[in-house]
Amino acid sequence: MFIALKTRKLQLRHPLVTAHGSTTHRNIIEITASEDGFQGHGEAAPLPGFGLETFDESLAALESWVKNPHRLPDAPAARSGANTAIENLEKASSSTTPASGKIAVQALIGSAESSSIESEVSRALEQGYLAIKLKVAATDKKTDIARIQRAIQLVGPHSALRLDANGGWSLEDALYVLSAIDSNHVDLVEEPTANPLDWKKVREVTGVKIGADEQLTNELQVHQLLEHAAAQTFVLKPSVIGGPSATRKVAELAQSNDVNVLISSFLDGPIALRSARDLAMELAPNEIHGLGTASLFIDEFPADVVPTNGFLHY
């Protein structure tokens, strides 16, 4: 097997502000694995604050893999990209016919400014999105409450509103904010605090369903979340948890324990976004997934990973 690497920088239209900080661009490593005239593609793109290796570490791990393809990288993002490339190569060599169809995706609202909420949410609704995800916990509690309340007013019954705190609230902050809003209009909140042992109380006090995301990085954490019934939804990022095969394994565990599964982008480039889209279709075709991120970039993405009327068509 021959492996080629190519680095690329993708620029966001506007900074995405989360509890981990502000992201303005993504440095990615595109991987091409070739054998017997067939090719498979993968992508590695670590992001600071998510427990992954640095970009330089990821590139070094992949360069070592190029020299010894029989040993996959240990670094999580690099390993995810390598596994994706290998699976896509196997699909290509088996002449598997790609599935066709469409899946619903959510719009992502990352601006921390209250003044931007109305225009961004209104635009997403006009574009046909059935779910809108609002980043929270990157500012003070009162601003978060105002932003969420305005989003609730705008969304109404037309779309589901999801919140993502990225573990940025304390337990007290989470209870304060989520108790101050009409929680009946919130579909779920991802990672309200950094400690999953808090989540059951957040759910009991506020009534808001909990989504696990950053905590889904290894098998031990997955089993602990299931044991404590900490989350009602697992938001799976294939780019973080090991690629397609690892994602399927976690999804099977979740669904066998009555936990919903959503597939989410990691602010991915086109290759990883396409792979995640295919997994969403395979594992949870009737859910609204976190894969509507292509439009966040200045760079032009292929049409099959760019949302149209709130769906990815392929």
pLDDT tens-digit profile of 182-206?
999 999 999 999 999 999 999 999 9
* Residue 82 reports pLDDT greater than 80: yes
Residue 289 has a pLDDT of 98
Task: Give the sign of the dihedral formed by CA 74, CA 86, CA 108, CA 257.
Answer: negative
Report the CATH number of the 2-93 domain.
3.30.390.10
In the block, tokens 């920088």 appear at: 9
Which residues 6+ apart lie within 8 Å of 135 measured at CB?
Answer: 16, 17, 18, 108, 109, 110, 112, 164, 166
Q: Examine domains 2-93 and 102-313 and report if their fold is the same.
A: no
User: What is the domain partition of the chain in residue ranges?
Assistant: 2-93, 102-313
d(CA 95, CA 108): 35
Residue 39 has a pLDDT of 96
pLDDT mean over 239-257: 96
Share of the chain above pLDDT 90, in %: 86
Q: How far is CA 200 from the centre of its chain?
A: 22
Distances (CA, A) of 16 to 82, 111, 138, 146: 27, 6, 10, 19
The CATH number of domain 102-313 is 3.20.20.120 = yes
> Which amino acid is present at 38?
F
Of 154 and 51, the one with more pLDDT: 154
Q: What is the pTM of this model?
A: 0.94
Give the H or E element holding residue 80: helix 76-93
